[in-house]
Chain A
């Protein structure tokens, strides 16, 4: 983020820690804070009336949740939940809105970020509909490791099942096969990537497409 923009937001920013599974926003909530992940990651999930859910987007250090408050009052369409625990810089949405009214660079930043987020959401929608659960699992593990800058992911299989929109049994069986091949190693609440190359062979093309899309990280949202 350009230092002039950051200077405008700085007075309102504070940093918090959040653990995995913390829900920042439910569908329909007014967005009262804007969240900039520093070390953690947020998943955006669509939740159905039956309680089924699936991840449609992930937000790490390259982005933020609630940015559209810069354009005025907005509700959250998805559930925003902490996927990887860590630290998040937050600012009151009202304050963010006021700052963005006075500053065109913030509004331009939001527009650029929207473009990337939209592309990602479209790709993930296609992936969820078209690709196998095995390749989606491999994609998801790789993406999370990339964003967390670590091959050790503090995640439960239950959580993974929610992200992928499948039964936990399905995740367990797939994970077992991956573990048998020494591609991953998992224990309670933790998954370790052992063989990235094998995961890249298992994943669908969406992993590479999304990586390329996110490469121009000079969107300017990162604090």
Chain B
């Protein structure tokens, strides 16, 4: 189970978590979510993307990886964030 957080000062959290097989899958999932959020969008409901980071945590709350959303702005599918 992995938990996906968006931070811009405050947290937005995928509170229910998402079941994924391993950290690689979680990284790809994070990349996909980042692209889905940013596609044709200037920011998270008017707050620009350069302020946001995404982090992936495990059930214990331990952060496994994080990245700035804008790192993924022009990424191709299949890329994954590097911690």
B36 and A178 within 8 A (CB): no
The interface of chain A, by Cβ under 8 A from chain B, is 130-135, 166-170, 172-174, 176-178, 180-181, 202
B4 and A173 within 8 A (CB): yes
Summarize B's interface: helix, strand, loop or mixed. mixed
Given contacts A132-B40, A133-B39, whether A173 and B45 have CB atoms under 8 Å apart is no
- In angstroms, how far is the closest chain A Cβ from the Cβ of B15? 7
Stretch at the interface among B6-14, B58-66, B70-78: B6-14
How many residues of chain B have a CB within 8 Å of chain A?
A: 19
Task: Give the distance in Å from the alpha carbon of A62 to the alpha carbon of B15 in the complex.
Answer: 37
The interface of chain B, by Cβ under 8 A from chain A, is 4, 6, 10, 12-16, 18, 29, 32-33, 36-37, 39-41, 44-45
Chain A positions within 8 Å of B10 at CB level: 180
- Name the residue of chain A whose CB is nearest to the CB of B30: A169
B37 and A174 within 8 A (CB): yes
- In angstroms, how far is the closest chain A Cβ from the Cβ of B8? 10
Chain B positions within 8 Å of A176 at CB level: 12-13
- In angstroms, how far is the closest chain B Cβ from the Cβ of A150? 24
B37 and A173 within 8 A (CB): yes
B40 and A131 within 8 A (CB): yes
Chain A positions within 8 Å of B29 at CB level: 167, 169
Per a CB cutoff under 8 Å, which of B14, B32, B41 touches A172? B14
Chain B positions within 8 Å of A180 at CB level: 10, 12
B41 and A132 within 8 A (CB): yes
Per a CB cutoff under 8 Å, which of A132, A133, A169, A181 touches B18? A169
